[in-house]
Amino acid sequence: MEKIIKAIIVDDEPLARKGLSIRLSDFTDIELVAECQNGEEALQAISELAPQLVFLDIQMPGMTGFEALERIQALELEETPLIVFVTAYDQYALQAFEVHAIDYLLKPVDDERLAECIENIRLKINSDMQSNQQEKLVELMAQITGEDKQTILNSLSSGSELPVKNYSSFISIKDVGETTRLPVNDVVWIDAAGDYMCVHCSDGETHILRKTMKQLEQELDPKRFIRVHRSVIVNSDEVGKVLTLSSGEYVLQLTNKHEIRVSRSYREKVRESLL
């Protein structure tokens, strides 16, 4: 099935936009979703339509193509579009590639050169899709096996098997002369207190454990126990609400109404696991 590539054209010259749109109509996998006459219109269209491809004129009044690209890269997008610079002047070619444009077209756009450009874009998008699929597969295998991603990649490349890790149903709390086996089902959240871990349970009790966060992460099932802060692990079954602050930060409200702020470095992991 043909992969449709959403594209927009950004050029202050109406005839240039029209000419390029006519040429792009020959490519059945290119869907032109917007034509913009300046950088501000382009930023709005990219935010609203999320195109994978932008044909961007360099010399435009108000905001040049290079300035527009800086603004595009500053947007909080899930996926930054591929940029093809289009201009009547070839002295910008080196600078275009320095800012990581995928290609560079000279006006008037030659049909053969445009076809070559579109083929490069197809190859790039297909390559990125395969990389994303592999990354998701490795993340899933890491959750199932408990191995780190590099170990999994090494095993896949060598063809060796990965053992599935079985996680313990209990946490051993050692005290003077005795060891308490605490069911992980009773754990609501765990936080660090100096050299110790405080294990907070559903019955309101808090148990003190002398272990590191890294050790606990290796012992607990990552599909259920999520690191949300450098010093906090939460049982995802005990998360009642995920609150989003105006700053974009997350706060987890647990079933016992206790609230835990998610640190910025763990925000994406929480979003993937709980939202």
Architecture of domain 170-274: Beta Barrel (2.40)
Which burial class, exposed, middle or buried, applies to 155 when counting CB atoms under 10 A from its CB (0-12, 13-18, 19+)? Answer: middle
Mean per-residue pLDDT, 85-109: 80
Q: CA 238 to CA 187: how far, in whole Å? A: 9
Render pLDDT for 170-209 as a digit per residue (tens, 0 to 9). 898 888 778 889 999 999 999 998 878 999 999 999 999 8
Q: Tell me how far CA of residue 135 lies from CA of 52, 130, 141, 156, 262, in angstroms.
A: 20, 9, 10, 12, 24
Domain ranges for the chain: 5-134, 170-274
Token representation of residue 262: 């998610």
Contact by Cβ (8 Å): 41, 18: no
Render pLDDT for 123-181 as a digit per residue (tens, 0 to 9). 998 888 777 767 776 676 666 566 667 776 676 667 766 655 667 888 988 887 788 89
How many residues are given for the chain? 275
Q: CA 112 to CA 117: how far, in whole Å? A: 9
Q: CA 204 to CA 14: how far, in whole Å? A: 68
Render pLDDT for 35-75 as a digit per residue (tens, 0 to 9). 999 999 999 999 999 999 999 999 999 999 999 999 998 88
What 3-state class would DSSP assign to 161? coil
Contact by Cβ (8 Å): 105, 9: no
Which burial class, exposed, middle or buried, applies to 124 when counting CB atoms under 10 A from its CB (0-12, 13-18, 19+)? Answer: middle
Given a cut of 90, whether residue 260 has pLDDT beyond it is: yes
More confidently predicted of 2 and 126: 126
pLDDT at position 54 is 96
Amino acid code (one letter) for 11: D
Q: Tell me how far CA of residue 185 lies from CA of 15, 43, 80, 84, 102, in angstroms.
A: 67, 48, 41, 53, 51
In the DSSP assignment, the letter for residue 220 is: S
Q: Does domain 5-134 have CATH number 3.40.50.1820?
A: no
Q: Torsions phi, psi of 150, nearest 5?
A: -65, -40
Given a cut of 60, whether residue 1 has pLDDT beyond it is: no
pLDDT at position 11 is 96
Which burial class, exposed, middle or buried, applies to 130 when counting CB atoms under 10 A from its CB (0-12, 13-18, 19+)? Answer: exposed
Render pLDDT for 98-115 as a digit per residue (tens, 0 to 9). 767 889 898 888 899 999
Region for residue 29 given its phi and psi (left: phi exceeds 0; alpha: psi -120 to 50; beta: otherwise): alpha
Tell me: cis bond preceding 61? Omega within 30 of 0 counts: no
pLDDT at position 184 is 93
